Each structure stands twice: as structure tokens, then as C-alpha cells.
């Protein structure tokens, strides 16, 4: 469903959503320590996120990672697409190119709209939505 890497990406972004701001930047080492994501691996994941403006970063002393207002408005699906590409989530259960609603593979109706709805949820939910849930105690920050 999701690769390890995109799970880590989501965790890291959520950590920044809760613990960072333009004024309070966070070191990758801190994210790594608190979330138990291996340090060097995390760095490799943060790079494309930074390049694609999912997270913000400044280097040098006093630098670090943080989420800007714009970053917080990013839909979750973008994070997954950047890390996993856009095929992994949407492809047919049997990885058949020719499978669709009009010409369904045998498993097609077993997933039915469930996967479609899940993807729609990922498109319609932003980072700040999840941060709000965590801050309201409706879910917990994965550490």
C-alpha cells in the first residue's frame, strides 16, 4: 500500500506540523531522535520533500526544517506521490494494465470503491487537517 519510505515521510511531516514553525526550525537529528526514523535514511527522504516544497528548510547555523503556511496546505497524496510515484496506490490489485470498471479483473469488485475513496481522502486531506486532529486529541502523533 504505502512504502516504508512514504510512511516515514508522513511521520516526519506530521512531526514538523506539530513541532515546527517559521520561527522554530527543527534539526533532522531531532526528528530522527523523536520519531525513531534512522537518521541518514530520514535525510534522504527529506530531500525530495524539500525540493518539491512539501517541507521548508534553511541550512547553516540556526537552520533546520519547518512547515510554512503553504506547506501545511499540501494534500497528503502529494507526499505519497513524491516518494512512491503515482502508480503504487492506484494500480489494479493484480497489477493488470487492462483492468477498469468496464473491464474488471476478478478482484476488482472486491476492493470496489473502497480504494477509490481512500485515494480521494488522501487528495482531500491536508497536513494541517491531520495536525488539527492530533492537537484536538482525535489521533496521536506517531513517535
Partner DNA sequence: TCTTTTTTATGATATTTATCATATTCTAGG
Partner DNA sequence: CCTAGAATATGATAAATATCATAAAAAAGA
Q: Which residues bind DNA (CB under 7 A)?
A: 3-5, 8, 26-29, 38-41, 43-44, 46-47, 50-51, 57-65
Instruction: Tell me how many degrees the CA angle 43-65-51 measures, rounded to the nearest 5.
Output: 65
Q: Which does 106 bind (CB under 5 to 8 A by kind): a copy of itself, DNA, none?
A: a copy of itself
125: DSSP letter: -
Q: Where are the alpha helices (DSSP H) in the chain?
A: 4-19, 28-35, 39-51, 69-72, 76-84, 108-111, 113-124, 127-135
Q: Which is nearer to DNA, 91 or 121 (CB)?
A: 91
Question: Of 97-136, which residues contact a copy of itself (CB under 8 A)?
Answer: 98, 103-112, 114-115, 117-118, 121-122, 125, 130, 133-134
Burial 1-18 (b: 16+ CB within 10 A, else e): eeeebbbbbbbbbbbbbe
Q: Which does 137 bind (CB under 5 to 8 A by kind): a copy of itself, DNA, none?
A: none
Give the CA radius of gyration of the chain: 17
Cβ atoms within 10 Å of 37's Cβ, excluding its own:
24
Q: Which does 65 bind (CB under 5 to 8 A by kind): a copy of itself, DNA, none?
A: DNA
Q: Where along the sequence are the contacts to a copy of itself (CB under 8 A)?
A: 1-2, 4, 7, 10-11, 14, 76, 93-96, 98, 103-112, 114-115, 117-118, 121-122, 125, 130, 133-134, 138-142
Amino acid at each position: 500500500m504505502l512504502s516504508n519510505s512514504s510512511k516515514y515521510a508522513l511521520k516526519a511531516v506530521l512531526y514538523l506540523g506539530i513541532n515546527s514553525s517559521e520561527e522554530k526550525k527543527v534539526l533532522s537529528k531531532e526528528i530522527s531522535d523523536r520519531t525513531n526514523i534512522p537518521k541518514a535514511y530520514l535525510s534522504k527522504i527529506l530531500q525530495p520533500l524539500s525540493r518539491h516544497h512539501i517541507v521548508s528548510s534553511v541550512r547553516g547555523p540556526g537552520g533546520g526544517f519547518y512547515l510554512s503556511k503553504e506547506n501545511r496546505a499540501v494534500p497528503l497524496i502529494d507526499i505519497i506521490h513524491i516518494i512512491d510515484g503515482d502508480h503504487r496506490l492506484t494500480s489494479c490489485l493484480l497489477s493488470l494494465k487492462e483492468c477498469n470498471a468496464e473491464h474488471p479483473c476478478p478482484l476488482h469488485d472486491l476492493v470496489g470503491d473502497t480504494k477509490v475513496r481512500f485515494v480521494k481522502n488522501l487528495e482531500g486531506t491536508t497536513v494541517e487537517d491531520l495536525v488539527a486532529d492530533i492537537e484536538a486529541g482525535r489521533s496521536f502523533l506517531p513517535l
